[in-house]
A and B are shown apart, each in its own frame.
Chain A
Amino acid sequence: MSPSLRRRVFLVAAAVAGALLVWGLSGLPDYGIYRGPYGDVLNAVAVGERHATNVVAAVTFDYRGVDTMGEEYILFAAVIGVAILLRAQRDEREEAPDEDAADRRAPGTSNAVRVLGLALLGPVVLFGIYVVAHGHLSPGGGFQGGVVLATGALLVYLSGEYVTLRRVRPEALLDLAESSGAAGYVAVGLLGLAAGVTFLENVLPLGQAGTLLSSGMIPLINLAVGLEVAAGFVLLLSEFLEQTLVVRRPGEQT
């Protein structure tokens, strides 16, 4: 099918699908008028029941905690999948990007990027830890904070030479952090079974709502998720960086 024919077929199909979508969407309650009972019920009872002032976190990590465990394992599986897809192939060898062109050095990182990257590193890591630790109080949580923490590693890559950094990258430590984050979620869930209630049911003291040590197991789960997401994203980023900077097929011009 030629591109122009395909485009025309798509436009016809899209017109039909668009009309159906608009027809269906116009049957929804008007924007701004919320009908469902669950949101209102949760907003009314979650702070009292779970002592978590961030109701989204209470929903994510408590009311539907098992779903979120599945979500965390989707991320875990995806990181493994990327690592497997991007593993060194049989006909590949690893080399620094400037080995092919000894007369042309890759331009070094500018001092401005270096200084700014290193200056931002501390605040970014602190902010990531803050977002993870306060997930049950204010907007944030393990997923968001984990990504912020991984940005810290990206800043290190940006402000240094990746090829040099690669030698000191704590890959075993990252693997360990990712796995223990993933296992930590299950371990927290097993606390419930050990105490004789159901999996992931809170068994820790709830504390006073609005304080850091409150909401029972939600901060612990946030911590596990934050560890898993941060380590997982650093692994993802380094897999992709490795492809652009290091892996070459024989005979390929750089």
Chain B
Amino acid sequence: MSLLPYLIAAWLFLVGLYGIVTSRNLVHAVVCLSVVQSSTYVLLLAIGYERGGTAPIFLDVPVGTRAVDPVVSALTLTDIVVGATVSALLLALAVQTYKRHGTLDPEEFRSVRD
């Protein structure tokens, strides 16, 4: 099953998209977007994983110990920070949308607009 971690990333991506497409609540949609984003974490870490490798921290293991790729770990860190900021901004927009329209259901905006 050497493909399994990649399939998990693909599954998280698609299931999060499904949640966004069928969402009836903007806060729920923001959470679904976080699920989509977590698929990229899984994919990045899966690509950098080396069987039997430890974390790339050489504090109590000598340099030269087999370790996973530190570059994708650093990219995942960036990814998580960007994900948190996107969620914060979208949730702020959701708060303002609720104040304006009195609903968080995207289906109901359509009737409000007319």
Residues of A within 8 A of B (CB): 3, 6-7, 10-11, 14, 17-18, 21-22, 25-26, 28, 30-34, 36, 38-40, 42-44, 46-48, 53-56, 58-60, 64, 67-68, 71, 74-75, 77-79, 81-82, 85-86, 89, 92, 137-139, 141, 143, 210, 236, 239-240, 243, 249
Contacts of B31 in A (CB 8 A): none
Is the CB of B109 closer than 8 A to any CB of chain A?
no
A3 close to B47 (CB less than 8 A) = no
Say whether chain B's binding surface is mostly helix, strand, loop, or mixed: helix
* Bound CA–CA A124/B48 (angstroms): 31
Contacts of A38 in B (CB 8 A): 69, 71
Distance in angstroms from B65 CB to nearest chain A CB is 8
A53 close to B59 (CB less than 8 A) = yes
Contacts of B6 in A (CB 8 A): 25-26, 28, 31
Contacts of B13 in A (CB 8 A): 21
> Which one of B57, B74, B81 lies within 8 Å of A75 (CB-CB)?
B81
Contacts of A78 in B (CB 8 A): 85-86, 88-89
* B58, B80, B86 interface centre (most CB from chain A within 10 Å): B58
B74 close to A89 (CB less than 8 A) = no
Contacts of B104 in A (CB 8 A): none
* Bound CA–CA A53/B85 (angstroms): 29
Contacts of B89 in A (CB 8 A): 78, 81-82, 85
B71 close to A47 (CB less than 8 A) = no
Contact (A47, B17) CB under 8 Å given A30-B2, A74-B81, A139-B57: no
Is the CB of B25 closer than 8 A to any CB of chain A?
no
A85 close to B92 (CB less than 8 A) = yes
Contacts of B18 in A (CB 8 A): 10-11, 14
Is the CB of B4 closer than 8 A to any CB of chain A?
yes
Distance in angstroms from A21 CB to nearest chain B CB is 4
Contact (A59, B81) CB under 8 Å given A31-B3, A85-B93: no
Q: Which of chain B's residues 13-59 have a Cβ closer than 8 Å to chain A?
A: 13-14, 17-18, 21-22, 46-51, 53, 55-59
Distance in angstroms from A43 CB to nearest chain B CB is 5
* B17, B64, B81, B99 interface centre (most CB from chain A within 10 Å): B81
Contacts of A18 in B (CB 8 A): 10, 14
B3 close to A25 (CB less than 8 A) = yes
A43 close to B63 (CB less than 8 A) = yes
Distance in angstroms from A153 CB to nearest chain B CB is 15
Contacts of B4 in A (CB 8 A): 31
Top 8 nearest A-B pairs (CB, nearest first) are A39-B69, A32-B51, A78-B85, A30-B2, A25-B6, A34-B50, A55-B56, A85-B92
B77 close to A56 (CB less than 8 A) = yes
Contact (A26, B82) CB under 8 Å given A21-B10, A139-B57: no
Distance in angstroms from A65 CB to nearest chain B CB is 11
* Bound CA–CA A242/B69 (angstroms): 42
Distance in angstroms from A93 CB to nearest chain B CB is 13
A14 close to B63 (CB less than 8 A) = no
* Bound CA–CA A92/B95 (angstroms): 13
Distance in angstroms from B77 CB to nearest chain A CB is 6
Contacts of A48 in B (CB 8 A): 63
A10 close to B81 (CB less than 8 A) = no
* Bound CA–CA A89/B98 (angstroms): 13
Contacts of B84 in A (CB 8 A): 75
Contacts of A59 in B (CB 8 A): 70-71, 73-74
A42 close to B71 (CB less than 8 A) = yes
